Amino acid sequence: TVAFSGILAVAATFIVTQGEIDLSFPSIMGLSAWVFAATYSSMGNFPLSFVLCLGVGLLLGLLNGVVITKVGVPSIVLTIGTMFLWRGLIHVLVEGQSITLDQLDGTIWNSLLVGKFAGYVPAQFIWFIGIAIVLGLIYRRHRFGSHVLFVGDNPASARMVGIDTDMVKIKCFVLMGAMSAIAGLLSLAFNQSFFPTHGGSMLLPTLSAVFIGGTSVFGGKGTIWGTFMGVLIMGSLETGIVALGLTGFWYQFIAGLTIV
pLDDT at 33: 95
The C-alpha atoms of residue 11 and residue 174 are separated, in whole angstroms, by 10
Question: CB-based contacts of 118: which residues, under 8 Å, 6+ apart?
Answer: none
Report DSSP letters for 149-184, one per residue.
HHHHH-HHHHHHTT--HHHHHHHHHHHHHHHHHHHH
pLDDT at 225: 94
Give the orientation angle of helix 224-243 with respect to helix 2-17, to 10 degrees: 140
Ordered mean pLDDT values, 10 residues apiece, the chain (260 residues):
93 95 96 95 92 97 96 95 96 90 88 87 94 96 95 93 95 97 94 91 91 90 93 87 83 84
pLDDT at 38: 93
Eight-state DSSP code of residue 70: I
State whether residue 193 is helix, strand or coil. strand
pLDDT at 127: 95
pLDDT at 239: 82
Contact 184, 101 (CB under 8 A): no
The C-alpha atoms of residue 182 and residue 5 are separated, in whole angstroms, by 11
Contact 30, 198 (CB under 8 A): yes
pLDDT at 247: 79
Q: Which helix (H) or strand (E) holds 122?
A: strand 121-122
Cα separations (Å) of 133 from 6, 12, 127, 172, 250?
Answer: 12, 15, 10, 17, 33
